[in-house]
Amino acid sequence: MDIQIQWFPGHMAKAKRQVQDALKLVDAAIELLDARIPVSSRNPMIDQIVGNKPRLVILNKSDLADPNLTKQWQKQLERPNVKVIAIDTIKGEGIKEVPRMASLLVADQMAKLAAKGRRPRATRCMVLGIPNVGKSSFINRLVGRKATKTGNLPGVTKGQQWIKVAGSLELLDTPGILWPKFEDPEVGFKLAVTGAIKEQVFNFYEVALKLLQWLTEKNPDQIKVRYKLTDLAPDIPTLLQDIGARRGLLMAGGVVDELKAAQLIIKEFREGLLGRYTLDLP
Protein backbone atom coordinates (compact mmCIF):
# COMPACT_ATOMS: atom_id res chain seq x y z
CA MET A 1 0.00 0.00 0.00
CA ASP A 2 1.52 3.27 -1.11
CA ILE A 3 0.46 6.64 0.27
CA GLN A 4 1.60 9.32 -2.13
CA ILE A 5 2.49 12.47 -0.20
CA GLN A 6 5.10 15.00 -1.21
CA TRP A 7 7.90 16.07 1.12
CA PHE A 8 8.85 19.67 0.31
CA PRO A 9 12.58 20.33 0.77
CA GLY A 10 12.03 24.06 0.06
CA HIS A 11 9.29 24.40 2.68
CA MET A 12 11.36 22.31 5.07
CA ALA A 13 14.43 24.54 4.64
CA LYS A 14 12.33 27.64 5.41
CA ALA A 15 10.77 25.98 8.48
CA LYS A 16 14.21 24.87 9.65
CA ARG A 17 15.55 28.45 9.41
CA GLN A 18 12.53 29.84 11.31
CA VAL A 19 12.88 27.27 14.09
CA GLN A 20 16.65 27.80 14.38
CA ASP A 21 16.15 31.59 14.64
CA ALA A 22 13.52 31.13 17.36
CA LEU A 23 15.66 28.55 19.20
CA LYS A 24 18.09 31.36 20.04
CA LEU A 25 15.36 32.89 22.23
CA VAL A 26 14.67 29.79 24.36
CA ASP A 27 16.45 27.73 27.01
CA ALA A 28 15.12 24.35 25.86
CA ALA A 29 13.01 22.66 23.19
CA ILE A 30 9.91 20.59 23.91
CA GLU A 31 9.45 18.00 21.15
CA LEU A 32 6.03 16.37 20.85
CA LEU A 33 5.77 12.83 19.45
CA ASP A 34 2.88 10.38 19.16
CA ALA A 35 3.62 7.59 21.69
CA ARG A 36 2.23 5.02 19.20
CA ILE A 37 4.71 6.05 16.51
CA PRO A 38 7.69 7.81 18.15
CA VAL A 39 9.87 7.46 15.04
CA SER A 40 7.28 7.97 12.30
CA SER A 41 5.86 11.08 14.02
CA ARG A 42 9.13 12.97 14.24
CA ASN A 43 10.74 15.21 11.70
CA PRO A 44 13.92 13.48 10.44
CA MET A 45 15.93 16.71 10.72
CA ILE A 46 15.02 17.39 14.35
CA ASP A 47 18.40 16.44 15.88
CA GLN A 48 20.18 18.62 13.35
CA ILE A 49 17.77 21.53 13.98
CA VAL A 50 17.83 21.41 17.79
CA GLY A 51 21.54 20.59 18.09
CA ASN A 52 22.83 20.59 21.67
CA LYS A 53 19.91 22.58 23.10
CA PRO A 54 18.38 20.77 26.11
CA ARG A 55 15.27 18.91 24.97
CA LEU A 56 12.19 17.53 26.66
CA VAL A 57 10.59 14.78 24.52
CA ILE A 58 6.85 14.35 25.15
CA LEU A 59 5.28 11.02 24.18
CA ASN A 60 1.72 12.23 23.69
CA LYS A 61 -1.37 9.96 23.45
CA SER A 62 0.37 7.45 25.72
CA ASP A 63 -3.11 6.24 26.82
CA LEU A 64 -3.49 4.72 23.32
CA ALA A 65 -0.02 3.13 23.16
CA ASP A 66 1.29 -0.15 24.58
CA PRO A 67 2.46 0.87 28.10
CA ASN A 68 5.42 -1.56 28.15
CA LEU A 69 6.70 -0.32 24.80
CA THR A 70 6.24 3.30 25.93
CA LYS A 71 8.57 2.58 28.88
CA GLN A 72 11.12 1.04 26.49
CA TRP A 73 10.88 4.10 24.22
CA GLN A 74 11.41 6.41 27.20
CA LYS A 75 14.67 4.61 28.03
CA GLN A 76 15.79 4.53 24.41
CA LEU A 77 15.15 8.22 23.69
CA GLU A 78 16.76 9.59 26.88
CA ARG A 79 20.24 11.05 26.56
CA PRO A 80 22.33 13.33 28.83
CA ASN A 81 20.64 16.46 27.45
CA VAL A 82 17.28 14.83 26.64
CA LYS A 83 14.51 13.87 29.10
CA VAL A 84 11.36 11.94 28.12
CA ILE A 85 7.84 12.09 29.62
CA ALA A 86 4.77 10.08 28.57
CA ILE A 87 1.54 12.09 28.78
CA ASP A 88 -2.15 11.97 27.94
CA THR A 89 -3.36 15.48 27.07
CA ILE A 90 -7.03 14.47 27.19
CA LYS A 91 -6.95 13.33 30.83
CA GLY A 92 -3.99 15.52 31.74
CA GLU A 93 -1.83 12.61 32.96
CA GLY A 94 1.87 13.50 33.14
CA ILE A 95 1.25 17.19 32.36
CA LYS A 96 2.34 18.43 35.81
CA GLU A 97 5.76 16.85 35.21
CA VAL A 98 6.46 19.15 32.25
CA PRO A 99 7.37 22.43 34.04
CA ARG A 100 9.37 20.54 36.70
CA MET A 101 11.33 18.53 34.12
CA ALA A 102 11.93 21.64 31.96
CA SER A 103 13.40 23.45 35.00
CA LEU A 104 15.66 20.48 35.77
CA LEU A 105 16.93 20.42 32.19
CA VAL A 106 18.05 24.05 32.31
CA ALA A 107 19.13 24.22 35.98
CA ASP A 108 22.84 24.58 35.04
CA GLN A 109 22.09 27.40 32.57
CA MET A 110 20.03 29.24 35.17
CA ALA A 111 22.76 28.81 37.82
CA LYS A 112 25.31 30.37 35.42
CA LEU A 113 22.98 33.35 34.79
CA ALA A 114 22.47 33.80 38.54
CA ALA A 115 26.25 33.69 39.08
CA LYS A 116 26.54 36.61 36.63
CA GLY A 117 24.06 38.57 38.76
CA ARG A 118 21.03 38.06 36.48
CA ARG A 119 17.59 38.07 38.05
CA PRO A 120 15.75 34.73 38.15
CA ARG A 121 13.23 34.33 35.33
CA ALA A 122 10.87 31.73 33.87
CA THR A 123 12.26 28.82 31.84
CA ARG A 124 11.63 29.54 28.16
CA CYS A 125 10.78 26.61 25.90
CA MET A 126 9.77 26.21 22.29
CA VAL A 127 7.19 23.56 21.38
CA LEU A 128 8.11 21.53 18.29
CA GLY A 129 6.26 18.80 16.46
CA ILE A 130 4.84 17.66 13.13
CA PRO A 131 1.29 18.76 12.19
CA ASN A 132 -1.56 16.96 14.01
CA VAL A 133 0.66 15.52 16.75
CA GLY A 134 -1.41 17.42 19.35
CA LYS A 135 0.62 20.60 19.95
CA SER A 136 -2.41 22.86 20.49
CA SER A 137 -4.08 20.40 22.89
CA PHE A 138 -0.78 20.01 24.75
CA ILE A 139 -0.28 23.78 25.11
CA ASN A 140 -3.92 24.34 26.13
CA ARG A 141 -3.77 21.56 28.72
CA LEU A 142 -0.45 22.81 30.07
CA VAL A 143 -1.63 26.41 30.28
CA GLY A 144 -5.14 25.64 31.54
CA ARG A 145 -7.45 28.61 31.98
CA LYS A 146 -4.73 30.80 33.39
CA ALA A 147 -3.23 31.42 29.96
CA THR A 148 -1.70 34.88 29.84
CA LYS A 149 0.02 36.15 26.77
CA THR A 150 3.15 37.96 27.85
CA GLY A 151 3.42 40.04 24.69
CA ASN A 152 6.08 39.96 22.03
CA LEU A 153 9.64 39.85 23.31
CA PRO A 154 12.45 41.32 21.23
CA GLY A 155 13.39 39.22 18.22
CA VAL A 156 10.09 37.37 18.06
CA THR A 157 8.37 37.38 14.69
CA LYS A 158 5.00 39.12 14.59
CA GLY A 159 2.24 36.65 15.38
CA GLN A 160 4.43 34.50 17.62
CA GLN A 161 3.31 34.65 21.21
CA TRP A 162 4.95 33.84 24.47
CA ILE A 163 2.47 31.93 26.60
CA LYS A 164 2.91 31.93 30.37
CA VAL A 165 2.37 28.65 32.23
CA ALA A 166 1.87 28.31 35.99
CA GLY A 167 5.10 27.07 37.56
CA SER A 168 7.62 29.48 36.03
CA LEU A 169 7.50 28.34 32.40
CA GLU A 170 7.03 30.33 29.19
CA LEU A 171 6.20 28.64 25.91
CA LEU A 172 6.84 29.72 22.34
CA ASP A 173 4.89 27.81 19.71
CA THR A 174 6.90 26.74 16.66
CA PRO A 175 7.02 29.23 13.81
CA GLY A 176 7.71 26.66 11.08
CA ILE A 177 5.85 23.47 10.19
CA LEU A 178 8.12 20.45 10.52
CA TRP A 179 6.71 17.81 8.21
CA PRO A 180 7.38 14.12 8.80
CA LYS A 181 9.12 12.28 5.94
CA PHE A 182 6.76 10.15 3.87
CA GLU A 183 9.14 8.32 1.54
CA ASP A 184 8.78 4.97 3.34
CA PRO A 185 5.26 3.58 2.67
CA GLU A 186 5.27 2.03 6.17
CA VAL A 187 5.68 5.50 7.69
CA GLY A 188 2.83 6.78 5.50
CA PHE A 189 0.62 3.93 6.71
CA LYS A 190 1.41 4.60 10.39
CA LEU A 191 0.74 8.34 10.00
CA ALA A 192 -2.56 7.57 8.25
CA VAL A 193 -3.93 5.13 10.84
CA THR A 194 -3.01 7.37 13.78
CA GLY A 195 -4.67 10.42 12.22
CA ALA A 196 -1.51 12.43 11.57
CA ILE A 197 -2.24 13.11 7.90
CA LYS A 198 -5.28 14.53 6.12
CA GLU A 199 -7.88 11.97 5.20
CA GLN A 200 -8.17 13.35 1.66
CA VAL A 201 -4.70 12.08 0.75
CA PHE A 202 -5.01 8.36 1.44
CA ASN A 203 -7.28 5.50 0.44
CA PHE A 204 -9.37 4.48 3.47
CA TYR A 205 -10.11 1.03 2.09
CA GLU A 206 -6.44 0.14 1.47
CA VAL A 207 -5.31 1.53 4.82
CA ALA A 208 -8.11 -0.33 6.68
CA LEU A 209 -7.17 -3.64 4.97
CA LYS A 210 -3.53 -3.21 5.97
CA LEU A 211 -4.54 -2.26 9.52
CA LEU A 212 -6.88 -5.27 9.80
CA GLN A 213 -4.10 -7.57 8.58
CA TRP A 214 -1.78 -6.12 11.25
CA LEU A 215 -4.42 -6.40 14.00
CA THR A 216 -5.32 -10.01 13.18
CA GLU A 217 -1.63 -10.92 13.51
CA LYS A 218 -1.24 -9.00 16.80
CA ASN A 219 -4.51 -9.60 18.60
CA PRO A 220 -7.15 -11.60 16.69
CA ASP A 221 -9.29 -12.18 19.81
CA GLN A 222 -9.81 -8.44 20.25
CA ILE A 223 -11.27 -8.24 16.73
CA LYS A 224 -13.64 -11.16 17.46
CA VAL A 225 -14.83 -9.64 20.73
CA ARG A 226 -15.19 -6.07 19.42
CA TYR A 227 -17.16 -7.07 16.31
CA LYS A 228 -18.94 -10.12 17.79
CA LEU A 229 -17.44 -12.57 15.30
CA THR A 230 -17.21 -16.29 16.15
CA ASP A 231 -14.23 -16.68 13.83
CA LEU A 232 -12.21 -14.52 11.46
CA ALA A 233 -12.49 -14.89 7.69
CA PRO A 234 -9.26 -16.28 6.17
CA ASP A 235 -8.88 -13.28 3.84
CA ILE A 236 -8.89 -9.65 4.96
CA PRO A 237 -11.35 -8.18 2.37
CA THR A 238 -13.97 -10.75 3.52
CA LEU A 239 -13.22 -9.93 7.17
CA LEU A 240 -13.86 -6.26 6.42
CA GLN A 241 -17.19 -7.26 4.81
CA ASP A 242 -18.11 -9.34 7.88
CA ILE A 243 -17.39 -6.42 10.21
CA GLY A 244 -19.47 -4.08 8.03
CA ALA A 245 -22.35 -6.58 8.02
CA ARG A 246 -22.22 -7.03 11.83
CA ARG A 247 -22.41 -3.26 12.27
CA GLY A 248 -25.25 -2.90 9.77
CA LEU A 249 -23.24 -0.76 7.36
CA LEU A 250 -25.32 -1.76 4.34
CA MET A 251 -26.29 -0.10 1.08
CA ALA A 252 -29.30 -0.83 -1.15
CA GLY A 253 -29.74 -4.55 -1.76
CA GLY A 254 -27.98 -5.50 1.48
CA VAL A 255 -24.51 -4.86 0.06
CA VAL A 256 -21.88 -3.91 2.64
CA ASP A 257 -20.67 -0.30 2.35
CA GLU A 258 -16.92 -1.03 2.29
CA LEU A 259 -15.90 2.60 2.69
CA LYS A 260 -18.00 3.01 5.85
CA ALA A 261 -16.64 -0.27 7.23
CA ALA A 262 -13.08 0.91 6.52
CA GLN A 263 -13.74 4.29 8.17
CA LEU A 264 -15.23 2.54 11.22
CA ILE A 265 -12.17 0.31 11.74
CA ILE A 266 -9.72 3.23 11.46
CA LYS A 267 -11.85 5.41 13.77
CA GLU A 268 -12.12 2.69 16.43
CA PHE A 269 -8.39 1.98 16.21
CA ARG A 270 -7.62 5.69 16.72
CA GLU A 271 -9.93 5.84 19.73
CA GLY A 272 -8.24 2.85 21.38
CA LEU A 273 -11.37 0.69 21.13
CA LEU A 274 -9.40 -2.13 19.48
CA GLY A 275 -6.67 -2.12 22.13
CA ARG A 276 -3.51 -0.16 22.98
CA TYR A 277 -0.86 -0.52 20.30
CA THR A 278 2.55 0.89 19.45
CA LEU A 279 3.36 0.58 15.75
CA ASP A 280 7.02 1.72 15.94
CA LEU A 281 9.06 -0.81 17.89
CA PRO A 282 12.09 0.26 19.99
Residues 191-212, mean pLDDT to the nearest whole number? 90
- Is 63 one of the annotated binding-site residues? yes
Residues 124-150, mean pLDDT to the nearest whole number? 79
Q: Of the candidates 173, 190, 220, which is a domain's last residue?
A: 173
Question: Is there a single domain that holds both residue 158 and residue 251?
Answer: no
**Identity of the amino acid at 111:** A
Asked whether residue 279 is assigned to any structural domain, the reply reads no
Question: Is there a single domain that holds both residue 148 and residue 227?
Answer: no
User: Would the CA dihedral through 160, 141, 192, 188 be positive or negative?
Assistant: positive
Asked whether residue 233 is assigned to any structural domain, the reply reads yes
Question: Is there a single domain that holds both residue 211 and residue 148?
Answer: no
- Is 152 one of the annotated binding-site residues? no
- Is 83 one of the annotated binding-site residues? no
Overall domain count for the chain? 2
- Is 24 one of the annotated binding-site residues? no
- Is 40 one of the annotated binding-site residues? no
pLDDT of residue 3: 58
Asked whether residue 186 is assigned to any structural domain, the reply reads no
Q: What is the pTM of this model?
A: 0.90
- Is 61 one of the annotated binding-site residues? yes
pLDDT of residue 94: 93
- Is 10 one of the annotated binding-site residues? no
Please check the confidence at residue 266 and state whether its pLDDT lies above 70.
yes
pLDDT of residue 4: 58
Alpha-carbon span 70 to 62, nearest angstrom: 7
Please check the confidence at residue 179 and state whether its pLDDT lies above 90.
no
User: Which of helix, strand or coil describes residue 123?
Assistant: strand
Beta strands in the chain (DSSP E): 28-34, 55-60, 82-86, 123-128, 148-149, 162-165, 169-173
- Is 26 one of the annotated binding-site residues? no
Residue-averaged pLDDT of the chain: 88
Q: Of the candidates 130, 152, 173, which is a domain's last residue?
A: 173
Question: Is there a single domain that holds both residue 96 and residue 135?
Answer: yes
Residues 189-209, mean pLDDT to the nearest whole number? 90
Asked whether residue 71 is assigned to any structural domain, the reply reads yes
Beta strands in 129-190 (DSSP E): 148-149, 162-165, 169-173
- Boundaries of domain holding 234: 203-270
Write the pLDDT tens digit of every residue in 16-42.
898 999 999 999 999 999 999 999 999
Query: How remote is the C-alpha of 271 from its chain's centroid?
Result: 14
Q: What is the largest CA-CA distance in the chain?
A: 80
- Is 135 one of the annotated binding-site residues? yes
Q: Which has the higher per-residue pLDDT, 76 or 132?
A: 76
Q: Choose the most confident range, by mean pLDDT, from 129-138, 170-179, 186-195, 232-241.
A: 232-241
- Is 62 one of the annotated binding-site residues? yes
Residues sharing a CB contact under 8 Å with residue 176, sequence separation 6 or more, in sequence order = 14, 15, 16, 17, 18, 19
Question: Is there a single domain that holds both residue 122 and residue 212?
Answer: no
Question: Is there a single domain that holds both residue 41 and residue 117?
Answer: yes
Please check the confidence at residue 154 and state whether its pLDDT lies above 50.
no
State the pLDDT confidence band at 161, using cuts at 50, 70 and 90: confident
Nearest to 242 by CA among 261, 220, 268: 261
- Is 14 one of the annotated binding-site residues? no
Asked whether residue 253 is assigned to any structural domain, the reply reads yes
Q: Taking the CB of residue 103, how many other CB atoms lie within 10 A of it? A: 17
Asked whether residue 282 is assigned to any structural domain, the reply reads no
> Phi and psi at residue 98, in whole multiples of 5°?
-60, -55
